[in-house]
Chains A and B, each alone.
Chain A
Amino acid sequence: MKPLSIKKWTFTLVALKILTLSVFLLSLSLGGKLIWPFGTLSPEDHNILWISRLPRVFLALMTGYALGTSGTAFQGLLQNSLADPYILGVSSGAALGSILGLAFHLPFEMIPVLSFASAFGAMILVYTLASKNKQVTPHTLLLTGVILNAFLFAFILLLNGLVSFEQSQKIIFLLMGNIGTESFDKLLLVTAFVFVGSLFLTREGYALNLLSSGAESAAASGIDVPRHRKRIFFFASLMIGAVVPLAGLVGFIGLFVPHITRFIFGPDHRLVIPASGWIGAMVLMLCDTLARSALIWTSYQTELPVGAITPLLGAPFFLFLLKRGLK
């Protein structure tokens, strides 16, 4: 691995932040109606832009960041290029937590906490179940993830059968993956979770570099492997737990964004962890802009859930990368 200079690190991240800001402004202006945020706005446009569109684009940013970063962390830690929160069952864990909160009418402040706890629980469970003699083979891990997903879904469907018709609608949108206009206090809470998670995950970059070449060699380099592993699980689950109650199960971002990021910036996790967050944020903001505006001017006059867009773009891209022999 080439050494990473502070200069390159700073430069890349500043550039990515500027790019993200541009995509943010672009997503903010695009939609059913083209609105340039810096002009003088009619009252309608003002409402569309700042009350309806801004919270939505912001949620896409946060969700994309959380999914991108945690996907990278999982892939590095587990040395498995197919590991992503969705496939491992961590997202389903978070969804189960949020749906429990929804079913019992808990106040929103409680829901990300519950969602985080069950995401973390799912992560620990999938890891413990998949490990044999302190070894986790990629195969076993993915299969365990598939089974855990099915198991968690059974509970979700059970709850779905018990709640009212309206709540059941909400659950379905949650399972589809859907970015909507949320209130600022909810977004603030989510942002706080994602911020803390990203801060600590970025700090794990060096450990991840060692871990991604195998637990044994990492231990030989003198780091406390179980402790770092737990930390990474904890903070990744924190971010997933925060975004899933609002955005639901948005698939593919956590899978292909880390690949693109490593493809562009190389394997160093100190850089790739935050970089994949910003790239995830950009991708999801663009996906949601498409979901928001694609069908508005057709005779259906409707919106799509973002969950219908991410695999549409993500799956072919991922297959393309696979064909090209990317690990």
Chain B
Amino acid sequence: MKRKIIILFFLIFFLHGRAETKDYQRLISLKPNLTEILFALGVGDHVVGVTTYCKHPPEALKISKIGGYSNPSLEKILLLKPDLVVMIPDSTSPQLEASIRKAGIATLVLKTNSLEDVYESIEKLGEKIQKGERAQKLVREMKHNMCVSSRESASGGDVAISRVNSGDCFASLAMTKKGILVIQRSPLIVVGSGTFLSDLLKFAGIENIAGGSKLAYPRFSMEQLIANSPDVIFDMDTAPDPDFWEKYTSLPAVKNNSVYFLDPDLFVPGPRLPKALKNLHEASLH
């Protein structure tokens, strides 16, 4: 019995591990960042369905919409007759994935929480759609550009890179400033830990004052933010409002004029992350 189970496990892993690759012709993306990755891999003209939130690259705007960010329509997906649907693991994905598979359509679930996830997912997706080399090249470029961005800022004197591996940019950075990345001001939601955004902060040499939270995007206490005196505040709320921060006169970030409003559309876990990091650097080193 035990042996049977072991064999069964092996079989499952074996079958699971052997990703079927194919020249997929009709692709659907269920998240904006996946749409961007598909375009970056050069298969944009095979994408037949995206979400209403997929606005980058601009070509994506012309593609049929399958629903919003968290409420894709299964019917619309099936109507578009895709041969591969890419998605991320979230609350609706297990059920949705099962339904799509039942309809005989291939699916690929890609994790894009952290920076490492993004790299891995790009490579996995590339392999799946037979664009493996292009994917590896894209990841190499991204890593390189992240590195360049960090090095440039290092020469600005604020961040020190102690070690740079060949190709791979492993930067052990000196955290010189305390900061916070605000997703939404009211109620206050910030970047916690284990996300690509917390990774970006690290690359920018900023110690995240909400980094101690186990949650990815905690609803943070304004009182705790004040008590931790951030030197720099990145505000990604869709409606920039300088007056909101001005009233907290004790904040070093306010005193030093270091509250920056960032464009949330750029901070998407996809190919534009090096650009996003550059944006973060430029803001904090101006």
Residues on A close to B: CB < 8 A?
Answer: 31-33, 42-44, 46-48, 51-53, 161, 164-166, 169, 173, 178, 180-181, 292, 296, 299-303, 305
Contacts and interface: CB of A to CB of B under 8 A. Distances in A.
B251 A47 contact: yes
Nearest to B250: A43
Interface in B68-111: 68-69, 71
B53 A165 contact: yes
A145 to B, nearest CB: 29
Contact of B238 (A32, A53, A166, A301): A166
B187 A180 contact: yes
Interface in B191-212: 192, 210, 212
B248 A47 contact: yes
Interface of B: 53, 68-69, 71, 184, 186-187, 192, 210, 212-215, 218-224, 226-227, 229, 237-239, 247-251
Given A47-B249, A180-B186, A301 B223 contact: no
Given A33-B227, A300-B213, A178 B187 contact: yes
Nearest to A176: B187
A165 to B, nearest CB: 6
Contacts of B249: 43, 47
By Cβ-Cβ distance, the 6 closest A-B pairs, closest first, are A43-B250, A301-B213, A302-B218, A47-B250, A52-B222, A32-B223
Contacts of B237: 166
Nearest to B68: A165
Chain B contact surface mostly:
loop
A46 B250 contact: yes
A46 B229 CA distance: 13
Contacts of A46: 250
A164 B218 CA distance: 21
A243 to B, nearest CB: 17
B221 A300 contact: no
B186 A166 contact: no
A161 B69 CA distance: 11
B214 A47 contact: no
29 contacts: A31-B221, A32-B227, A33-B227, A42-B250, A44-B226, A47-B250, A47-B251, A48-B227, A52-B222, A52-B248, A161-B71, A164-B238, A165-B53, A165-B68, A165-B69, A169-B184, A173-B187, A180-B186, A292-B221, A292-B223, A296-B223, A299-B212, A299-B214, A300-B213, A300-B214, A301-B192, A301-B212, A302-B215, A302-B221
A163 to B, nearest CB: 11
Nearest to B53: A165
B219 A302 contact: yes
Contacts of B219: 302-303
B186 A181 contact: yes
A25 to B, nearest CB: 17
A319 B8 CA distance: 52
Given A46-B250, A48-B227, A292-B221, 11 more contacts: A31-B223, A44-B250, A47-B249, A166-B237, A178-B187, A181-B186, A292-B223, A300-B214, A300-B218, A301-B220, A302-B213
Nearest to B71: A161
Contacts of A301: 192, 210, 212-215, 218, 220-221, 224
A52 B226 CA distance: 9
A46 B223 CA distance: 11
A300 B226 CA distance: 18
B234 to A, nearest CB: 17
Nearest to A302: B218
Nearest to A169: B184
B239 to A, nearest CB: 8
B214 A44 contact: no
A194 B169 CA distance: 60
